[in-house]
Amino acid sequence: MKFYQAIIPAIVGASIVVSQPLSARALSSQEIGKIAEDITVLIDYKDNSGNGSGVIIKKDGNTYTVLTAAHVVANANRKYEIVGNDNQRYPLNYTTVKKLPNQLDLAVVTFSSNNNYQVAKIGNSDTSGRGTLAYVSGFPGKNAVINESILTITEGKIAGSSNKLNNGYGLVYDITTKGGMTGGAVLNEKGELIGIHGRADSSYDRK
């Protein structure tokens, strides 16, 4: 999903956008990896072998808000768990799922914890032009070789952008991703969140 300034306050609250300092320099891949590890959560499907990913975008007391792709949490009859970077599991109360309007493929969910989790810094996707570095973090699905969900961070470049794609998709990037990473973070070279990873299309992924 492309983040437009009009919907950022609706998602995370204007105070978070204003109060968090923006990084003035590009970070190393290792620094980006640490940020991604801190803010990316696993959204586990307890009633089957699938999963998705999400990003912590807000903390209010002991309540955390996670942004993900709406289709990751589309099934009201499914049992979901949110898993933090400390492997703590939090059953998802589906009544907290709020899908964004205008057919955007975005949703927010909440969980409560006394543990301290980091919150993503929000960037501006409009400044990520063609050829700039970007990173996607998420949890690929399990398979015959990998029998557990492991956070994966992949690197590539922005290939293009458009305001005319369906469901709020805006950026196109050439980054290798796998099923299960949907809903994970798209970060710029400063480690700022510029989008949520959505659907893959041939050699390009869109967000």
Residue 173's pLDDT band (boundaries 50, 70, 90)? Answer: low
Give CA separation, 168 vs 53, 100, 104, 120, in Å. 18, 10, 5, 20
Least confident of 15-24, 27-36, 110-119: 15-24
Q: Which CATH class is domain 35-112?
A: mainly beta
Higher per-residue pLDDT: 89 or 20: 89
Predicted local confidence at residue 91, as pLDDT: 97
Question: What is the pLDDT averaged over residues 21-34?
Answer: 80
Residue ranges of domains in the chain: 35-112, 125-197
Sheet bearing 98-99, strands edge to edge:
89-91, 80-83, 40-45, 51-60, 63-68, 107-112, 98-99
Same fold, 35-112 and 125-197: yes
Residue 174's pLDDT band (boundaries 50, 70, 90)? Answer: low
**Residue percentage of the chain with pLDDT more than 90:** 48
| CATH node for 125-197 | 2.40.10.10
Residue 100 has pLDDT above 80, yes or no: yes
Instruction: Give the residues across from 122 on adjacent strands.
Output: 193
Record the pTM: 0.81
